[in-house]
Amino acid sequence: MAPCGGAEMITRLTHGALVALALLVAPADAQEVSGQVAVEWRGYFQTPLFPRQPRSSASLMLQPELYIESASQSLLVTPYARLDQTDSERTHVDIRELQWQYAARAWELRLGVGKVFWGVTESQHLVDVINQIDLVENIDGEDRLGQPMVNVALNRPWGIVDLFLLPGFRTRTFSGPDGRLRFPARIATELTQFESGAEERHVDVAARWSHVLGDVDLGVAHFHGTGREPSFLIGADAAGLDVIVPRYDQIDQTSLDLSLVRGAWLWKLELLNRVGQGDRFAALTGGLEYTVAGLFGTGVDLGLLAEYLFDERGALALSPFEDDLFAATRLALNDVAGTELLSGVIVDRKTGASLINLEGSRRIGDRWRVSLELRSFVGVPRSDFMYGFSADDHVQLEVTRFF
């Protein structure tokens, strides 16, 4: 199996911490073992751009979960593994969560490997900077690697203050030469560069204040450390072949995320200002969602979404979304099976390149769920950040069993 970045640190944490943390919550008032196992199949509609790429592939995912709770303490353990048929880089293991939590009246302490989510928008999670993206899982950025952390949360009448100490950096995962949804050249993760001499051992820090003010949900945060978003350099591997070398710079990022509810309207905004990857720049994602409840007198809810994605760096942005429009519909049948369907498109305002996305899911009984995804890349020019994906239109079927 191909290890994820920071795997050495995760291994060290796992060996001793699980037993030690389990002792802290004993005797347990409650203990629960759960999880999920899934079979996934992807079929691609076009001939691949690069040799060795498959027309279809299958994979197996396992994610068990152990939760132990006693009085004011709890322990959450969530390992993760995927075995992929064709792409050795997509076959990987991770500790998504291995976190002990102590809760007092006015503060909480979390220690171990955890996941933290910041943000409110649908099309991208612009300000979500604590956990590294697990790109081999899915290109939508929803899947994140576990992050070693110490987190203290202070609960006050005027808001919640979260303080983070992040001892250890996780490098981003990328598809290999045998995988689809890859870049034109191989990503040489073995040649990864860092601005900091401490490399993956650099200790990052972050703080966030969040509060609910009437109909407004507000968060203001600052992050100092190794940026999770790599820049890319052209290099050569040991065989003299051209490769892409990831580089991770030191950044300072201040961000705002805000949502406002007004009747059936939900307004959303994520805004950041960052220095450390070249000149200081700003980026934002903002928009709205309008929900039509009880469509045509039925129990069906229809959500209409629209967002704008902007990055001041323009063509130099490390994201494909520097001047784009997003529109989508969200259909919730509100039935016993929890049937949902999200369909949307992101369009580049300059080139017209489009990413079309369709996601649907439905439960079967209490233990099973069937999910379907369809993605299409339309009119992507060679100069575009996502050109390597231009022949990777695909459908993905996933069957999940919960236990």
**Domain edges within the chain:** 7-402
Give the separation between CA 384 and CA 353, rounded to whole angstroms: 8
Tell me which H or E stretch contains 70.
strand 56-70
Q: What is the pTM of this model?
A: 0.91
Structural contact between residues 340 and 348, judged by C-beta atoms closer than 8 angstroms: no
Tell me which H or E stretch contains 7.
helix 7-24
| Helix, strand, coil shares, percent, the chain, to 5 | 10, 55, 35
pLDDT digits (tens, 9 = 90+) for 137-184: 999 999 999 999 999 999 999 999 999 999 999 999 999 999 999 998
Angle 276-278-281 from CA coordinates, rounded to 5°: 80
Structural contact between residues 55 and 392, judged by C-beta atoms closer than 8 angstroms: no
Give the separation between CA 385 and CA 170, rounded to whole angstroms: 23
State the average pLDDT over residues 57-62: 98
Domain 7-402 part of CATH 2.40.160.10: yes
Structural contact between residues 141 and 126, judged by C-beta atoms closer than 8 angstroms: no
| Res. 26 pLDDT band, cuts 50 70 90 | low
The C-alpha torsion from 14 through 16 and 21 to 26, rounded to 10°, is 120
| Res. 29 pLDDT band, cuts 50 70 90 | confident
State the average pLDDT over residues 296-312: 96
Structural contact between residues 397 and 361, judged by C-beta atoms closer than 8 angstroms: no
Of the candidates 258, 263, 255, 230, the residue with the CA atom closest to the CA atom of residue 245: 230
Read off the tokens for 24: 């802290």
228: DSSP letter: S
Distinct helix (H) and strand (E) counts, the chain: 1, 22
Question: What pairing do the DSSP bridges indicate for beta strands 216-226 and 250-262?
Answer: antiparallel
